[in-house]
């Protein structure tokens, strides 16, 4: 435990702005992925990118404010992400079982 | 009994008769109908005589009796009672209405005996008499208007008595609609009075009118009242319904469209003389319109072939005299002419009715001729009637007509012009009346002769005889330079305006008397020359002046003009509204809006294409819009 | 650290676990009936606790959860919806042989909603929303043999994940701007600045609105709703349409009205825009729907717009209106879905509008119940929907949002086109198909439908009591 | 005893009792309905007996808390305007219900139940003393009518109903916004608690802008309900599609809701706005009079003749209200009653005529010979419909126009076109049916006992009003005065106020 | 200086792997690319004084979740080719533009934000301990007990849900 506290990484030389920029970039990248991909598996991956982007921001803010809350938030997000992924993959398997195309564009009988 | 109570009884009796007859569960025996129909009239006449007697026994200045049954309405600052007003003028009218009315009822008992709807006829006739009495007895403008409209309704019903005849139905409708136009005029006059004087009671209106009515208002009221009068009394240009009204049974024509209702306009002007005294221009308009009507109708009457139409046009023309007189403020003379006209015109109609009855409904002069041989008594009575209307000295028409014309002669330049018109029309009157007389009673029998002449019984003959006597002598109540019972009687209710009737000089009376006698004689002679002396003459002259005569026969085509300028266009507008505007205009707005919504709905539905990526894109778009709002709009504030 | 402040949550979680356990007991009858009974009892117990604990605010668990009138009101509403859902699902194919899992998931989702309602912390809000969503993803797709059900689940999952990310990012910004996840701290920190003075908060606000609007299915974040509602098993649709929306509005109220009242003038514009868009888009799109569930989905979009009017007002008056209308909305929508559930059992394609031809005449009680619900949705007095709209419009006018009230009125006019169309079909058309099975109305479904109709009437007639409760909740929310 | 509330509850209970009846309990349903409406009628006469004719303001008030925190109260009562409309409602509904119960009725339970609901809602509307309550009943009355038209109408009932609903709801919902805004703005001006009590709102000093917009909102709703030209698009469809009894009730009673609202709510609460919008409303009313008359003249079915004539007649009533003149206002109230009676009787006669097989104008004629009694009554009713002097309708029309003439001469002059054309179209209706060549069997149309019992009371009442209009007008004075006095004060500011002296 | 380099490397790696995740069509390759991103982000967490979060990121995320992905990909086999024509092509450019605008708006918001973006963050150790397992554990058990407990419910849902969805199921004898 002591070791972790005094770990030399993270001396605070990088300003928050950089982290936030990266976070935003990852988020938008994920968003683009959701918009252009049609395979549900890839969509789930893209969503993971978005959540990671958000996590980077959360942890960055936590650092900025010296508040544990952000990191807790990030951990919770990971759990949620895991849950979403599990359900998503379960759905993918169910769809596969029903011999349906693994393409969200094909799954569009509901419309109007 | 006081005059007021008598007045109410007179008013109530015909109403009672009408109600009993109409509510009788089924068609009552004809005797019952006769007893109720005529009995109520006779009683009313007797009571009217009693009223008259009561009034005669009173001081001339105190002969006005106003009596109200109940507070009819109290609205805003206005109070209106269900009130009657018995005075010299209304009693005069009541006498004619109930008297002549009773005679005509009596006549009808026989005339209508073969018609279905015997009970209906008498019920409606009684109803008419009630309405007419209400009109003349009304104590305020509201009930005047009500009576005014109800006589119109009665007239409508009786014109359309033969309700399976489309022509009768159309004539009834026309009469009614034109009367409604008159009602509107009257109603608006009442509005102005109400706005200016704040009351509709005759006494109060007339008392305050000189103070409250300024020049324009008075002129407007007078003109609007005249619109009503013109519609009811068939003055140009609202006269076209009266000839058509001859579709009704002949007794109806005699009672409503000759003796009483059509003269209501005259009554109205006389009743409202105070207002006309305040409106010189309107009075002139009245006189001029009366003169125009007088002349036009007289010319038209010269060529009509239907015996009743000749009489109808003659009625229009004679009312023109009265209106002209009223416009010249010669109220007593107008009423005098009304009185004499009631007698001789009722006589003429009833006489014509006997002829028609005898010929089983034939009305065309072309299908008559030589009837004098068969219907001698009738011919005699009709001759007196024709002479009376033509103005043969000594008979009633001569005195009353000359009274009006003498006033005209005395009334300045305008009056002189009107006098000339009156004299010309008098000549025409003599001509067309004797044309009618000669073509009906003189000459050879019509082709084919008469097989089953239907001889009149006593019920038809006696009223005509009584009217004949009246037509002969009733003019003697006022003989220029000898006595003036009529003027004296009416003086308290018609005198006292700032304008007043022109002073009539003796010279005017002489000039008028001589002139009218000459022209009457001239007219009779011309008629004799053409129609009486040699029946073939008429056929020889048939080709003369075809064009003008056809114009005259069509009554100057007033009907066509109305049809073309008012009725058809509005009918078209109505059609356009119904077929074009209704489905498209108002409805179209709704339809347009709903189809717009439907289009938007379609767009939204197409966006909702089932593609998840599209949904995500929409979310991103939403964020963009909200973000832009947040940055741009909020920043701007 | 008071456990007592989340007894309902604990009861529901416990009931969920018990239901899940019952799924694996060998006794078939117990497996079949047990979970529903456990669920029903749990919900009843939680309701009792909620009612009993009605009172002033207590803060539990280090400030993670509040227990106040707002949370209790929302919890009661959510619990009632959950109970109705379980009642409606008794004979649902998806639940027949996996009753335990089904009920368990419904209860877990309910727990998420209660948590959202109680949240006093950004993390708890996020977690509550995710808990309810994840459970619903599964429930939507539970009829795995039906491709539409799967499609609904997948669509919900993907859009839901994106929506959650957006919300999360917004919450992260809010955290970043204030340095705390606790709503109380955030409120204190932002108490004296307007939002636009800090662009980070503005951005957070936009993103949070978007994320919550997604959950509340407000336009233009609503597009998943029709598809998912149509595809999901109908009781679940009912649950989503009512309880989820309630939870989303609880979050709306907590975050915006409760935490950021100072910035009201700024976020009002944004929320009003969303409200207007929802009202118009929802109502217009619903006009052409041939599927009743889909129609109700769009109607739900529009209703979300109405509910947002009160949020946009952002005052006690507005909050009270929104809460009242939420109650009314739950009753009327559940009632309508009960009708759909019933009809789906009687005929094939029971969610098609044509399936309702002559329904009212054939089944007067259900028909009248449905008609009352539809008329209330359309805003006819003297029903609850009217009182709600009355209050909402009042709130709008009170805060100079007259234009929004007019948009609402226009939307209501448009909505008549489909609500009354359904009414007309129910009563005025003759039944088209003779093959409709005339089954006795199942007691549970009938009871839900009729009690909803009764509630719709009662809520209006006894508005005073309900308004007192809602007003109390609104005041607690706004009191510091 | 809270008379006004009881008056709403009795028919409501009657309606609810229908649901409690066993399936197919047709006879019981009839008895229930007749008894309920009869009790209502009797109660309404009791109300009249207790009513003080010389007082203004709301009487026999019954006021309860509903949800006071948002200003909702249950306030009911009658004044000199509403008492007559309540009586009109109870009378016509009793006649309608009794007639349907004993002469004709399909699915009586639902039909009579809905009629009773409609009665309750209409009474509620007329006795409402609270703006929200007014709105509640305003909407509530729509529901039974929707079903009555939609379930018992002819083949076009669907589209007619939808058009009817959407059209009227457009107005209603705008009015809802106006109602809400009124309460809130009033609270802002007075600073007190929220209130929607009409009497309290009348004293509020709204700004000119507020007043105008709020009045416009209310006026739109009223105009659609009336209907006022050009908001009448629903009228021909609905009047044609509805069962004729319902059409009669729509025209006779429901249309009064609009004019009543205008006089009782719109004008007194927003005098400034009313004054500002007077030219608009007058113009629309006059246009409606002319338009309605012309279209009625050409309309092809009997119903539409009457329907469009109704459009014209209601235009007169609006004129009377918007003149802000005591006579015109009292005349307008009288005319509301008159029009209700006359139009109900007219539709009743149309229903009888329709028994010959068709409501088309050109299918039958000359029925009078076979149906003399019908002919007589029809004549009386037709004359009243064209407001012939001497009829009850004339009294109202006369005083309306007298007041309008004083205040807005142009409008009165244009409106007289409508008077003339009324004669034209009503005579067309009467003569084309009753006179002329005999086509069709008049005996089928002749009065039977139920017809006579239904129509004769109405005709007798018309006669009573014609002979003694004071019976109604006398009670309206103070209430009408209260309603129009503020607007009149705006229209005619006292001398010296608001006048800029000329240099 | 070392920190800048580390940040640069991690950031570039995260982004480039992210681009691969989004652009690669092959699910397997994309998943592997995601591992790269996750690891880079973990490194960034370390830089931000969140060692515990970084560890969890690697263990749970890169370890468990990605493995699950790979399992499913393996289970599905090669059946994800042959995509039909893109039906959303009309929306897509607009959507991408919208994403760009979102980015721009976010940038505007951040650049004007009241927090100090350019300032160096407080060096670890200078401030309070926020990222150590002790701190995290402490926070979870005191300050964030409810979220901590509720995560279990989320995971329960995930577990039950995944089983129910993936389990071979046939339509039960419903009473529809």
pLDDT tens track for A89-109: 999 888 888 877 777 777 777
Interface present between D and A (3 or more CB pairs within 8 Å): no
Distance from CA of D67 to the nearest CA of C (A): 4
pLDDT band at B585 (very low <50, low <70, confident <90, very high): low
Interface present between D and E (3 or more CB pairs within 8 Å): no
Interface test with D, best of C397, C400, C469 (most D CBs within 10 A): C397
Contact A105 B611 (CB under 8 A): yes
Provide, for chain A, the percentages of residues in helix, strand and coil under a 3-state DSSP scheme, each rounded to the nearest 5. 70, 0, 25
E41 vs E128, more confident: E41
Percent of chain B residues topping a pLDDT of 70: 97
Query: What is the mean predicted confidence (pLDDT) over B271-284?
Result: 88
DSSP sequence for B197-228 = HS--BHHHHHHHHHHH--HHHHHHHHHHHHHH
Distance from CA of B136 to the nearest CA of C (A): 57
Bridging pattern class, strands C58-60 and C65-67: antiparallel
Q: Contacts of residue B183 in chain D, CB cutoff 8 Å?
A: 388-389, 419
Whether the per-residue pLDDT at C61 is higher than 70: the answer is: no
Distance from CA of B622 to the nearest CA of A (A): 14
Q: Contacts of residue B571 in chain D, CB cutoff 8 Å?
A: 297-298
pLDDT, position E123:
55
pLDDT per position as a tens digit, D14-25: 988 887 777 666
D327, D416, D431 ranked by CB distance to B184: nearest: D416
Contact B613 E101 (CB under 8 A): no
Percent of chain A residues topping a pLDDT of 70: 89
Whether the per-residue pLDDT at E120 is higher than 70: the answer is: no
Q: How many angstroms separate the Cα of D279 from the Cα of each of A63, C480, D221? A: 70, 53, 18
C196, C207, C224 ranked by CB distance to B615: nearest: C224
Q: Contacts of residue B608 in chain A, CB cutoff 8 Å?
A: 111-112
Whether the per-residue pLDDT at A7 is higher than 60: the answer is: no
Contact E123 A11 (CB under 8 A): yes
Least confident of B175-179, B253-257, C86-90, D215-219: B253-257
Tell the residue number behind the tokens 């993270």, with chain if given: A10
pLDDT, position B608:
82
Contact D173 C379 (CB under 8 A): yes
φ, ψ of residue D381 in degrees (nearest 5): -65, -40
* Long-range contacts of the stretch B112-118 (C-beta < 8 A, 24+): B112/B249, B112/B251, B113/B30, B115/B249, B117/B161, B118/B27, B118/B30, B118/B33
pLDDT, position D499:
46
Contact B601 C158 (CB under 8 A): no
* C-alpha Rg value of chain C to the nearest Å: 21
Q: Contacts of residue C471 in chain D, CB cutoff 8 Å?
A: 69
Least confident of B347-351, B386-390, C294-298, D360-364: D360-364
Q: Contacts of residue D435 in chain B, CB cutoff 8 Å?
A: 160, 163-164, 169
Q: Contacts of residue C64 in chain E, CB cutoff 8 Å?
A: 143-147
Interface present between A and E (3 or more CB pairs within 8 Å): yes
Report which listed range, B73-82, B363-372, D83-92, is most confident: D83-92
pLDDT, position B127:
93
Whether the per-residue pLDDT at C447 is higher than 90: the answer is: yes
pLDDT, position B56:
87
Query: What is the mean predicted confidence (pLDDT) over D61-71?
Result: 85
Contact A111 B616 (CB under 8 A): no
A43, A87, A111 ranked by CB distance to C137: nearest: A87
pLDDT band at E173 (very low <50, low <70, confident <90, very high): very low
Least confident of B604-618, D118-132, D232-246: B604-618
The answer to whether C273 contacts chain D (CB < 8 Å) is: no
- The neighbouring-strand residues paired with D389 are D391
Interface test with C, best of D12, D15, D21, D70 (most C CBs within 10 A): D70
pLDDT, position E119:
67
The answer to whether E109 contacts chain B (CB < 8 Å) is: yes
pLDDT band at B498 (very low <50, low <70, confident <90, very high): low
Query: What is the mean predicted confidence (pLDDT) over B572-576?
Result: 88
Q: Contacts of residue E112 in chain C, CB cutoff 8 Å?
A: 199
C66 vs C239, more confident: C239
Whether the per-residue pLDDT at B130 is higher than 60: the answer is: yes
Query: What is the mean predicted confidence (pLDDT) over D320-338?
Result: 93
Least confident of C322-326, C394-398, D121-125, D199-203: D199-203
The answer to whether E156 contacts chain B (CB < 8 Å) is: no
Whether the per-residue pLDDT at D333 is higher than 90: the answer is: yes
Contact C199 E174 (CB under 8 A): no
Cα–Cα dist C116/B550, whole Å: 99
Q: How many angstroms separate the Cα of A37 from the Cα of each of A97, E38, E96, E173? A: 21, 20, 13, 38
pLDDT band at C407 (very low <50, low <70, confident <90, very high): very high
The answer to whether A57 contacts chain C (CB < 8 Å) is: yes
**What angle, rounded to 10 degrees, do the helices at D271-298 and D208-225 form?**
20
Q: Contacts of residue B621 in chain C, CB cutoff 8 Å?
A: 220
The answer to whether C276 contacts chain D (CB < 8 Å) is: no
Least confident of B528-532, C195-199, E162-166: C195-199
Q: Contacts of residue A87 in chain E, CB cutoff 8 Å?
A: 157-158, 161-162, 165
Q: Contacts of residue C368 in chain D, CB cutoff 8 Å?
A: 19
B190 vs E81, more confident: B190
What is residue D391's three-state secondary structure? strand
pLDDT, position D498:
46
pLDDT per position as a tens digit, B280-300: 899 999 999 999 999 999 999
Query: What is the mean predicted confidence (pLDDT) over C242-255?
Result: 94
pLDDT per position as a tens digit, B510-561: 888 888 899 889 999 888 888 877 777 777 777 777 888 888 888 888 888 8
pLDDT, position A2:
37
Give every CB contact of residue D112 below 8 A, 6+ residues apart in sequence: D18, D29, D30, D32, D33, D97, D100, D101, D105
Mean pLDDT of chain A: 83
pLDDT band at C217 (very low <50, low <70, confident <90, very high): very high
Q: What is the DSSP letter of C325?
A: H
B610, B613, B617 ranked by CB distance to A111: nearest: B610
Distance from CA of D56 to the nearest CA of B (A): 14
Whether the per-residue pLDDT at D143 is higher than 80: the answer is: yes
- The neighbouring-strand residues paired with B80 are B73
pLDDT, position B499:
60
Whether the per-residue pLDDT at C435 is higher than 70: the answer is: no
pLDDT band at A6 (very low <50, low <70, confident <90, very high): very low
Select from C153, C106, C132 the least CA-distant residue to C216: C132
Burial C72-86 (b: 16+ CB within 10 A, else e): bbbbbbbbbbbbbbb
pLDDT per position as a tens digit, C108-125: 999 999 999 999 899 999
Interface test with D, best of B22, B70, B72, B76 (most D CBs within 10 A): B76
D384 vs B500, more confident: D384
Percent of chain B residues topping a pLDDT of 90: 25
pLDDT, position D28:
84
pLDDT, position D261:
93
Query: What is the mean predicted confidence (pLDDT) over C420-447?
Result: 76
Whether the per-residue pLDDT at C276 is higher than 90: the answer is: yes
Query: What is the mean predicted confidence (pLDDT) over E132-140?
Result: 88
* Closest alpha carbon within chain C to E144: C64
φ, ψ of residue B536 in degrees (nearest 5): -70, -25
Distance from CA of B631 to the nearest CA of C (A): 8
Distance from CA of A61 to the nearest CA of B (A): 22
Whether the per-residue pLDDT at D502 is higher than 50: the answer is: no
pLDDT, position E131:
80
Cα–Cα dist B560/E148, whole Å: 99
Q: Name the region of D501 (left: φ>0; alpha: ψ -120 to 50; beta: rest).
A: beta
Whether the per-residue pLDDT at D500 is higher than 70: the answer is: no
pLDDT band at D107 (very low <50, low <70, confident <90, very high): confident
Cα–Cα dist A97/A75, whole Å: 33
Contact B574 D297 (CB under 8 A): yes
Distance from CA of B598 to the nearest CA of E (A): 23
Contact C127 E150 (CB under 8 A): yes
- Chain B residues contacting E via beta carbons under 8 Å: 609, 611, 613-614, 616-617, 620-621, 623-624, 627-628, 631
Instruction: Tell me if E66 sits within 8 A of E35, measured CB to CB.
Output: yes
pTM over 0.80: yes
């Amino acid at each position: 435990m002591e070791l972790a506290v005094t770990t030399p990484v993270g001396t605070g030389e990088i300003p928050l702005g950089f982290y936030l920029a990266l976070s935003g970039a990852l988020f938008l990248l994920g968003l683009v992925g959701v918009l252009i991909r049609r395979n549900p598996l890839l969509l789930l991956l893209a969503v993971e990118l978005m959540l990671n982007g958000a996590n980077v921001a959360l942890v960055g803010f936590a650092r900025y404010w010296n508040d544990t809350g952000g990191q807790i938030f990030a951990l919770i997000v990971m759990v949620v992400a895991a849950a979403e992924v599990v359900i998503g993959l379960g759905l993918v398997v169910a769809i596969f079982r029903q011999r349906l195309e693994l393409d969200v564009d094909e799954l569009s009988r509901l419309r109007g | 009994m006081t005059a007021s109570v008598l007045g109410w009884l007179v008013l109530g009796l015909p109403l009672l008769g009408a109600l009993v007859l109409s509510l009788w569960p089924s068609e009552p025996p004809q005797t019952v109908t006769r007893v109720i129909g005529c009995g109520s009239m006779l009683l009313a006449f007797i009571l009217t005589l009693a009223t008259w007697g009561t009034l005669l026994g009173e001081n001339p200045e105190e002969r006005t009796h106003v009596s109200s049954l109940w507070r009819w309405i109290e609205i805003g600052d206005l109070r209106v009672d269900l009130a009657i007003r018995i005075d010299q003028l209304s009693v005069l009218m009541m006498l004619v209405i109930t008297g002549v009315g009773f005679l005509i009822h009596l006549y009808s008992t026989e005339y209508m005996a073969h018609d279905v709807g015997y009970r209906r006829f008498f019920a409606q006739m009684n109803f008419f008499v009630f309405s007419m009495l209400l009109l003349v007895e009304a104590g305020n403008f509201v009930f005047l208007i009500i009576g005014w409209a109800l006589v119109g309704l009665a007239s409508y019903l009786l014109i359309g008595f033969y309700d399976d005849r489309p022509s009768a139905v159309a004539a009834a409708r026309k009469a009614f609609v034109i009367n409604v136009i008159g009602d509107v005029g009257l109603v608006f006059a009442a509005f102005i009075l109400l706005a200016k004087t704040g009351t509709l009671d005759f006494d109060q209106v007339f008392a305050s009118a000189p103070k409250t009515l300024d020049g324009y208002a008075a002129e407007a009221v007078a003109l609007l009242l005249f619109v009503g009068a013109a519609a009811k009394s068939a003055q140009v240009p609202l006269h076209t319904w009266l000839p058509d009204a001859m579709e009704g049974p002949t007794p109806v024509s005699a009672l409503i469209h000759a003796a009483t209702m059509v003269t209501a306009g005259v009554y109205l002007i006389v009743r409202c003389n105070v207002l006309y005294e305040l409106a010189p221009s309107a009075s002139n308009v009245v006189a001029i319109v009366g003169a125009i009507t007088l002349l036009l109708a007289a010319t038209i009457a010269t060529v009509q072939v239907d015996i009743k139409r000749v009489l109808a046009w003659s009625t229009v023309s004679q009312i023109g005299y009265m209106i002209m007189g009223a416009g010249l403020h010669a109220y007593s003379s107008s009423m005098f002419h009304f009185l004499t006209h009631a007698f001789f015109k009722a006589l003429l109609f009833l006489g014509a009715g006997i002829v028609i009855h005898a010929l089983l409904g034939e009305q065309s002069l072309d299908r008559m001729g030589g009837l004098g041989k068969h219907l001698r008594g009738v011919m005699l009575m009709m001759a007196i009637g024709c002479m009376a209307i033509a103005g043969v000295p000594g008979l009633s028409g001569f005195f009353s007509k000359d009274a009006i014309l003498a006033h005209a002669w005395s009334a300045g330049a305008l009056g002189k012009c009107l006098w000339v018109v009156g004299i010309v029309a008098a000549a025409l009157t003599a001509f067309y009346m004797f044309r009618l007389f000669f073509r009906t009673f003189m000459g050879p029998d019509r082709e084919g002769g008469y097989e089953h002449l239907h001889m009149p019984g006593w019920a038809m003959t006696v009223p005509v005889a009584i009217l004949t006597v009246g037509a002969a002598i009733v003019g003697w109540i006022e003989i220029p330079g000898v006595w003036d019972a009529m003027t004296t009687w009416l003086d308290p209710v018609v005198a006292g305006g700032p304008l007043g009737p022109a002073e009539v000089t003796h010279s005017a009376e002489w000039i008028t008397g001589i002139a009218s006698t000459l022209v009457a004689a001239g007219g009779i002679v011309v008629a004799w020359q053409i129609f009486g002396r040699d029946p073939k003459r008429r056929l020889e002259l048939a080709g003369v002046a075809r064009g003008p005569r056809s114009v005259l026969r069509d009554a100057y085509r007033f009907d066509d003009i109305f049809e073309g300028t008012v009725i058809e266009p509005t009918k078209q507008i109505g059609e356009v509204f119904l077929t074009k505007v209704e489905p498209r205009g108002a409805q179209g707005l709704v339809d347009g809006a709903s189809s717009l919504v439907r289009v938007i709905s379609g767009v939204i539905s197409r966006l909702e294409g089932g593609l998840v990526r599209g949904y995500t894109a929409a979310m991103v778009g939403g964020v963009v819009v909200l973000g832009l709002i947040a940055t741009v709009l909020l920043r701007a504030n | 650290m008071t456990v007592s402040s989340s007894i309902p949550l604990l009861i529901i979680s416990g009931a969920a676990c018990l239901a899940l356990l019952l799924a694996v007991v060998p006794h078939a009858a117990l497996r079949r009936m047990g979970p529903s009974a456990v669920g029903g009892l749990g919900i009843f117990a939680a309701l009792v606790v909620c009612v009993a604990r009605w009172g002033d605010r207590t803060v539990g668990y280090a400030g993670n959860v509040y227990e106040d009138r707002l949370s209790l009101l929302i919890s009661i509403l959510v619990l009632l919806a959950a109970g109705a859902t379980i009642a409606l699902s008794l004979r649902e194919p998806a639940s027949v042989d996996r009753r335990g899992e089904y009920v368990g998931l419904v209860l877990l989702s309910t727990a998420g909603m209660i948590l959202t309602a109680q949240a006093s912390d950004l993390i708890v809000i996020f977690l509550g929303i995710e808990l309810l969503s994840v459970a619903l993803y599964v429930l939507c797709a539970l009829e795995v043999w039906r491709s539409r059900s799967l499609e609904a689940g997948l669509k919900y999952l993907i859009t839901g994940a994106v929506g959650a990310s957006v919300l999360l990012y917004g919450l992260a910004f809010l955290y970043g701007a204030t340095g705390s996840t606790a709503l109380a701290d955030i409120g204190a920190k932002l108490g004296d600045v307007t939002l636009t003075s800090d662009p980070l908060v503005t951005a957070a606000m936009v993103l949070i609105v978007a994320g919550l609007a997604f959950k509340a299915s407000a336009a233009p974040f609503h597009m998943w709703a029709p598809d998912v509602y149509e595809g999901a098993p109908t009781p679940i649709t009912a649950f989503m349409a009512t309880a989820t929306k309630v939870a989303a509005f609880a979050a709306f109220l907590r975050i915006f009205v409760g935490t950021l009242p100072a910035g009201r003038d700024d976020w009002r514009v944004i929320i009003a825009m969303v409200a207007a868009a929802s009202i118009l888009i929802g109502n217009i799109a619903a006009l052409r729907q041939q599927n009743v569930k889909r129609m109700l989905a769009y109607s739900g979009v529009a209703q979300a717009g109405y509910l947002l009017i009160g949020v946009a007002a952002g005052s006690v008056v507005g909050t009270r209106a929104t809460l009242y209308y939420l109650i009314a909305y739950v009753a009327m929508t559940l009632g309508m879905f009960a009708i759909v559930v019933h009809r789906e059992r009687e005929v094939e394609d029971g969610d098609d509008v044509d399936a309702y031809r002559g329904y009212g005449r054939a089944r007067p009680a259900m028909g009248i119940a449905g008609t009352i619900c539809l008329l209330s949705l359309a805003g006819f007095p003297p029903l609850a929907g009217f009182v709600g709209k009355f209050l909402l419009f009042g709130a709008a006018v009170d805060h100079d949002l007259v234009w929004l009230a007019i948009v609402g009125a226009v939307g209501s006019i448009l909505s008549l086109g489909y609500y009354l169309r359904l009414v007309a079909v129910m009563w005025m058309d003759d039944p088209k198909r003779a093959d409709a099975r005339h089954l006795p109305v199942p007691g549970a479904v009938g009871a839900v439908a009729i009690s909803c109709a009764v509630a719709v009437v009662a809520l209006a007639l006894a508005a005073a009591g309900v308004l007192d409760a809602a007003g109390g909740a609104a005041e607690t929310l706004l009191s510091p | 005893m809270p008379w006004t509330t009881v008056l709403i509850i009795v028919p409501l209970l009657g309606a609810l009792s229908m649901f409690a009846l066993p399936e197919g309990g047709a006879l019981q349903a009839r008895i229930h309905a007749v008894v309920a409406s009869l009790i209502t009628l009797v109660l309404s006469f009791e109300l009249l007996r207790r009513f003080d004719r010389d007082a203004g303001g709301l009487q026999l008030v019954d006021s309860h808390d509903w949800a006071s925190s948002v200003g909702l109260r249950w306030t009911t009562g009658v004044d000199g305007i509403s008492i007559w409309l309540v009586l009109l409602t109870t009378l016509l509904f009793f006649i309608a219900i009794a007639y349907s119960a004993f002469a004709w009725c399909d699915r009586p339970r639902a039909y009579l139940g809905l009629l009773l609901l409609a009665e309750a809602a209409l009474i509620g509307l007329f006795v409402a003393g609270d703006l929200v309550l007014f709105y509640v009943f305003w909407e509530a009355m729509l529901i039974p009518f929707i079903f009555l038209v939609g379930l018992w109408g002819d083949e076009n009932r669907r589209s007619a109903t939808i058009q009817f609903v959407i059209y009227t709801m457009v107005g209603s919902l705008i009015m809802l916004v106006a109602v809400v805004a009124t309460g809130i703005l009033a609270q802002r001006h007075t600073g007190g608690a929220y209130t929607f009590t009409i009497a309290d709102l009348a004293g509020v000093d709204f700004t000119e802008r507020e007043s105008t917009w709020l009045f416009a909102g209310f006026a739109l709703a009223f105009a659609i309900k009336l209907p006022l030209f050009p908001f009448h698009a629903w009228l021909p469809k609905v009047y044609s599609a509805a069962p004729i009894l319902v059409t009669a009730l729509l025209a006779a009673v429901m249309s009064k809701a609009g004019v009543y609202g205008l006089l009782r709510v719109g004008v007194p609460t927003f005098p400034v706005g009313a004054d500002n919008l007077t030219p608009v409303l007058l113009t629309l009313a006059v246009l409606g009079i002319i338009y309605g008359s012309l279209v009625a003249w050409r309309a092809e079915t009997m119903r539409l003749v009457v329907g469009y004539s109704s459009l014209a007649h209601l235009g007169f009533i609006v004129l009377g209200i918007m003149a802000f003149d005591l006579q015109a206002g009292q005349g307008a109230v009288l005319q509301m009653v008159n029009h209700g009676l006359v139009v109900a009787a007219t539709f009743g006669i149309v229903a009888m005529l329709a028994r010959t097989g068709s409501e088309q104008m050109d299918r039958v004629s000359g029925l009078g010979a076979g149906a003399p009694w019908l002919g007589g009554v029809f004549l009386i009713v037709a004359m009243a419909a064209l407001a012939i002097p001497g009829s009850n309708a004339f009294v109202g029309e006369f005083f309306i126009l007298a007041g309008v003439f004083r205040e807005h001469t142009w409008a009165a002059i244009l409106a007289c076109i409508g008077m003339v054309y009324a004669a034209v179209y009503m005579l067309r209706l009467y003569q084309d049916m009753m006179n002329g060549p005999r086509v069709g069997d008049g005996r089928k149309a002749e009065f039977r006992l139920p017809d006579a019992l239904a129509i004769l009371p109405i005709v007798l009442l018309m006669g009573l009003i014609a002979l003694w209009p004071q019976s109604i007008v006398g009670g309206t004075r103070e209430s009408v005065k209260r309603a129009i006095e503020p607007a009149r004060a705006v229209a005619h500011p006292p001398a010296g106020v608001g006048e800029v002296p000329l240099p | 200086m070392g920190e800048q380099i580390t940040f640069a490397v991690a950031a570039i790696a995260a982004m480039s792997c992210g681009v691969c995740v989004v652009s690669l069509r092959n699910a397997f390759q994309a998943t592997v690319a995601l591992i790269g991103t996750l690891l880079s982000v973990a490194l960034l967490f370390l830089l931000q004084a969140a060692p515990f979060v970084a560890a969890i990121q690697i263990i749970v995320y890169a370890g468990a979740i990605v493995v699950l992905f790979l399992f499913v990909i393996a289970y599905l086999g090669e059946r994800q080719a042959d995509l039909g024509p893109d039906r959303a092509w009309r929306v897509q450019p607009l959507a991408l533009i919208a994403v760009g605008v979102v980015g721009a708006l976010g940038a505007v918001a951040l650049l004007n934000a009241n927090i100090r973006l350019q300032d160096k963050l407080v060096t670890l150790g200078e401030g309070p301990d926020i990222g150590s397992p002790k701190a995290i554990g402490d926070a979870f058990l005191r300050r964030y007990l409810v979220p901590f407990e509720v995560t279990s419910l989320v995971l329960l849902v995930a577990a039950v849900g995944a089983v129910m969805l993936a389990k071979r199921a046939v339509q039960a004898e419903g009473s529809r």
